[in-house]
């Protein structure tokens, strides 16, 4: 869909212009809000991601999950199979850099899990609308994942306010998130 492509480019270009200090302080606000949410504190099995380029920083979040004694799951994307699998990660130093430069679990070291055993998903994204629809990077990985798990599982996206748009082009397979955390607060859908 070309409208999605254009929108991705526009929003990502805006996000690229965030200064390092803005990226850092906004990411800190987002992490603080997220880590105070009941839905996050109440569960033990949390899927997260490792930020790439100018995504909201998840470093403090991932460390918090491990420090709290909760289980952390991180995604590994297989482009050839067009699939995303979550692996249990106990030590962030064991991640390896993918061909795309993203830090990912190592299938030689980490154990893959059934996404249905995960209590909550913290997700990245490019753009978000006021109804909880998200635009990702175009792989359909999260849409596919969310289609295969129970509808009521919390799906919390992290984004900067500049990634919020009035309207997104929606296709039948696009899945909604349950919460969006930005530097100015939490939206629940």
Ligand X SMILES: Nc1ncnc2c1ncn2[C@@H]1O[C@H](COP(=O)(O)OP(=O)(O)OP(=O)(O)O)[C@@H](O)[C@H]1O
Q: Cβ atoms within 10 A of the Cβ of 123, count? A: 22
Measured from the CB atom, is 18 or 140 closer to Mg ion? 140
The DSSP code sequence of 12-34 is: HHHHHT--HHHHHHHHHHHHHHH
Question: What angle is formed at CA 176 by the lines to CA 92 and CA 24, rounded to 5 degrees?
Answer: 40
The binder of ligand X chosen from 113, 137, 153, 187 (CB under 6 A): 137
To Mg ion, the closest distance from the beta carbon of 136 in angstroms equals: 5
The DSSP code sequence of 104-170 is: E--TTTSEEE-GGG-SEEEE--SEE-TTSBEE-SSS-HHHHHHHTS-TTS-EEEE--GGGB-S----
Measured from the CB atom, is 22 or 143 closer to Mg ion? 143
The site partner of 180 among ligand X, Mg ion, none (C-beta below 5 to 8 Å per kind) is none
Hey, which residues between 157 and 176 contact Mg ion (CB under 5 A)?
174
Q: Which stretch binds ligand X (CB under 6 A): 29-37, 50-58, 134-142, 181-189?
A: 134-142
Which residues sit at the interface with Mg ion, rule CB under 5 A?
A: 143, 174
Residues that bind ligand X (CB under 6 A): 4, 135-144, 147, 171, 173-174
């Amino acid at each position: 869909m070309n409208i999605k492509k254009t929108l991705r480019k526009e929003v990502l270009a805006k996000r690229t212009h965030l200064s390092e200090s803005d990226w850092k302080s906004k990411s800190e606000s987002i992490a603080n809000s997220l880590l105070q949410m009941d839905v996050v504190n109440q569960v033990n099995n949390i899927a997260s991601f490792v930020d790439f380029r100018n995504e909201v920083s998840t470093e403090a979040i991932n460390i918090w999950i491990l420090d709290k004694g909760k289980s952390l799951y991180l995604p590994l994307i297989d482009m050839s199979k067009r699939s995303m699998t979550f692996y249990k990660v106990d030590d962030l130093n064991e991640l390896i850099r993918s061909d795309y430069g993203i830090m990912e679990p190592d299938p030689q070291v980490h154990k893959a899990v059934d996404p249905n055993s995960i209590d909550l998903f913290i997700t990245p994204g490019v753009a978000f609308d006021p109804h909880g629809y998200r635009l990702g990077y175009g792989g359909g990985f999260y849409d596919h994942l969310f289609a295969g798990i129970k509808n009521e599982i919390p799906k919390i996206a992290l984004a900067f306010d500049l990634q919020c748009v009035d309207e997104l082009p929606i296709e039948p397979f696009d899945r909604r998130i349950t919460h969006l955390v930005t530097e100015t607060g939490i939206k629940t859908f």
